[in-house]
Amino acid sequence: MKKRTKKILIWIFSVILILSLSVIGGLRYFFSSFKPTCETKDVWHIENYTIQHSRCIGPFGPHYSSFDIYKNKDHISKAFKVSNDSCRLRARVRNDYYLDFNICKETLLIRKPDKRLIDIETIDSILIRPFDSVRLVRTDKKYPEPLYDTVFIANFDSTVTKRLKTKEIKDFVNRWNKSKSNGFERLGKNYDYLLTIYGNDSIRKIKSLNHFLTENELWSYESTKDGFYDKLWIDK
């Protein structure tokens, strides 16, 4: 009786195992059918990097181009065209490290943040004002878009500014100096505030968008997300 029970249990276990493997195999096949099918079209070798251009199509179409970047045979990033230029490709390796390739000239430009720290001892004053008469305010919406509402500032006058107090200057300088890279050309051209820094016979202009900051409109930096720049302008 015990031997018979043991055989039955072994048989049940075997059936369950076979069914499980069949289901797993079927699921793998099912999900693999959703992977894009790609065909390599071009390969470029620029310095220590390899760029592979593939023409791909997903399960529902349409065709699209994919540019994969390899270094020493390791895949490090994907690249995208810059300004629809067929020669220029850009790959973001990290927020603070970009690779700009020109596949026509076979050249490489490495982009890194160029933020200049602010020495508070050299500051005479800092003025703040709204950047423009139109600003984008982030909403709590996640879907459908837009995620921002357009707000028009009444009676906007670019000559009306507010001088920051000593503590506000310290807080702003600390935020700028400690801010982390947000990436290259990621903010666009719409900003909330313009902060003009006077000191040491020089003038610097830093723009804010929400909690992001930029000086040259190329590299942007992320500071604490707490409405600090709105408070600088609104608080009396």
71-100: per-residue pLDDT in tens? 988 999 999 999 888 899 999 998 889 999
Q: What is the pLDDT of residues 50-67, one digit of tens each?
A: 999 999 987 777 888 899
Q: What is the pLDDT of residues 18-40, one digit of tens each?
A: 766 665 655 454 444 567 888 89
Q: Which residues of 206-219 are buried (b: 16+ CB within 10 A; e: fewer)?
A: bbbbbbbbbbeeeb
Which whole number is the average pLDDT over 122-144?
74
pLDDT exceeds cutoff 90 at 43: yes
Rounded CA gap, 184 and 69, in Å?
18
Q: What is the pLDDT of residue 31?
A: 45
Using CB atoms within 10 A of its CB, is residue 46 exposed (0-12), middle (13-18) or buried (19+)?
middle
Q: What is the pLDDT of residue 27?
A: 47
What are the domain boundaries of the chain? 37-111, 120-234
The tokens for 56 are 């791909």
Name the pTM for this structure: 0.70
Q: What is the pLDDT of residues 97-131, one digit of tens each?
A: 999 999 999 999 999 999 999 999 999 999 999 88
Rounded CA gap, 180 and 170, in Å?
18
Q: What is the pLDDT of residue 122?
A: 95
pLDDT exceeds cutoff 80 at 141: no
Indicate the average pLDDT of the chain.
84
Cβ of 72: how many Cβ atoms within 10 Å? 8
Which whole number is the average pLDDT over 166-180?
97
Which whole number is the average pLDDT over 183-200?
90
Q: What is the pLDDT of residue 103?
A: 95
Q: What is the pLDDT of residue 117?
A: 97
Which whole number is the average pLDDT over 199-204?
92
The tokens for 225 are 């997300």
Rounded CA gap, 113 and 92, in Å?
13
